[in-house]
Chain A
Amino acid sequence: MISEKLVKDVTVELLRKTVTRMTDDVVNELKNAMKNETEEVPRMQLKAILDNLELAEKTTTPLCQDTGVTIFYVNLPRCLNVDVENGIIEGVRTATKEVPLRPNAVHPLTRKNPGDNVGRKMPYVNFKIWDKDYIEITVMTKGAGSENMSQLAMLTPSQGVKGVKEFILNVVLKAGSNPCPPTILGVGIGGSSDIATKLAKEALLRPIDKPNEDVEIASMEKELKDALNDLGIGVMGLGGKTTVLGVNIEYAFCHTASLPVAVNVQCWAARRGTAQIFPDGKVKYPTHER
């Protein structure tokens, strides 16, 4: 049986898995980067990154101290009589103490920190109703260093594909060494200002070894990744061949007068996790099966 208590317990476990172990798609790309780099400086940085991942997994410790603000994406079956949101909120409160997570959530103006990562509209839960019979909860624990480098541009339709690519290049240049490169770029094209921004972040939920299903978008993802790696910003901005680990693009139809583009910059420590809660109370963590 699915209950609020079960949702809470799953939220704690999901957060623990998510902040202590990264998914294979990103780890593999970091290992590829290590094979590709020849200079001493980037190799030393990548070694620290890979050693740290191993150590965090072995000791079930948050691999980065910035465990983010908790933003959830939830798919709900129809006719479910459970307060899922409250289960998640209580799960975040408990995980903050038990995992532990860093208490990051503060009032935006007074900067007061309640200490439990719970406050007005935080955790933030995005709900969708779907036709399956199980709940799927996905969380991204994203640090502020990279989130702070994210940008939105309201381009004019005449700027077209060139304008989109130029904007993405400029976001990477402006971010420079700040967002803990090598980064993953989540790009949202179209919709409206709010939808583009949302798509940019949702693009980061897709594994980086899985290109967009649309072949033209997929080739744009590859083109951007290859070109941006020629910039030479490198691991931690100390130079080298690895500046981006992946580019994921999502798009939506937009107004004929608009061309919104948003880029969500994700640090190398791209932590995301998914849990599935089935009607009989069984739980799966498809991103963390190992």
Chain B
Amino acid sequence: MRQMQVRLKTPITEEQIRKLNIGDIVYLDGIIYTGRDEVHIHALEKAEHGEKPPVDFNRSVLYHCGPIMKKVGEEWVMVAGGPTTSSRMNSLEPNFIEKFRPAAIIGKGGMSQPTIDAMAKFGTVYLAITGGAAVLAAKGVKKVHGVHWFEFGMPEAIWVLEADNFGPLTVGIDSHGKSMFVNVDTIVKGNIEKVRKKLKLV
């Protein structure tokens, strides 16, 4: 399939998401929210008690990121903001997607099968961004609009970011059950015997 390059603005419709396939390149504009371990735990806890988290993730974007922020005057500025390892959220993400319906999740390293299934069911994609490339990522954030749950610490808070041509992001998991990470995994499994031979293990 030919690779597509698109620029999307949040909120993103399900129709727009369904058009994306693994390997496509995406650039984002509009409001996106950071959230990692603590945000998942507490947002889901709130949902269980019939309460809402302080932001609406519906058709918006969740970014697995714990940034370095700096206060300049009254405003927060993102200094460095690359992704965190998404697999830590594997056990919570399917439930998070079902409850809060984000259009996309940005992270690194990919996510496990239950999340791939939830993404197919609810029209969500996983967008991979280069881990560690934190200054480059911060360049795509035009403004920090605010912060919630700062009491969890700077990395674990919800940061409200305005993205401006944020990317390039690679569609790592699409909403049709396909994952680049699963594909690479299959290739790796096929290479193991060759590697074991090279290491004189067989």
Contact = CB atoms under 8 A, between A and B. Distances in A.
Contacts of A169: 192, 195-196, 199, 201
A65 B131 CA distance: 10
A27 to B, nearest CB: 13
A193 B199 CA distance: 25
Nearest to A45: B130
A101 B80 CA distance: 10
A223 B200 CA distance: 10
Interface stretch (B6-14, B92-100, B150-158): B150-158
Contact of B153 (A65, A106, A178): A106
B133 to A, nearest CB: 4
Given A59-B135, A63-B132, A102 B194 contact: no
Interface string A41-83: 1001100110110011001011111110000000000000000
A226 B194 CA distance: 12
Interface string B128-152: 1011111110110000000000001
A205 to B, nearest CB: 19
A65 B80 contact: yes
Main secondary structure on A side of the interface with B: loop
A96 B155 CA distance: 13
Contacts of A245: none
Nearest to B129: A48
B79 to A, nearest CB: 6
A238 interface: yes
A88 interface: no
Given A62-B79, A62-B80, A65-B80, A177 B132 contact: no
Contact of B195 (A41, A64, A228, A238): A228
B180 interface: yes
A233 B135 contact: no
Contacts of B1: none
A100 B199 CA distance: 43
21 contacts: A52-B134, A65-B81, A65-B82, A66-B66, A66-B134, A67-B68, A100-B79, A103-B154, A144-B85, A145-B85, A176-B181, A176-B188, A178-B85, A180-B109, A180-B132, A223-B198, A233-B184, A236-B130, A236-B131, A237-B181, A268-B132
Interface of A: 40-41, 44-45, 48-49, 51-52, 55-56, 59, 61-67, 100-104, 106, 111, 113, 115, 143-145, 148, 162, 165-166, 169, 173, 176-180, 223-224, 226-228, 230-234, 236-239, 267-269
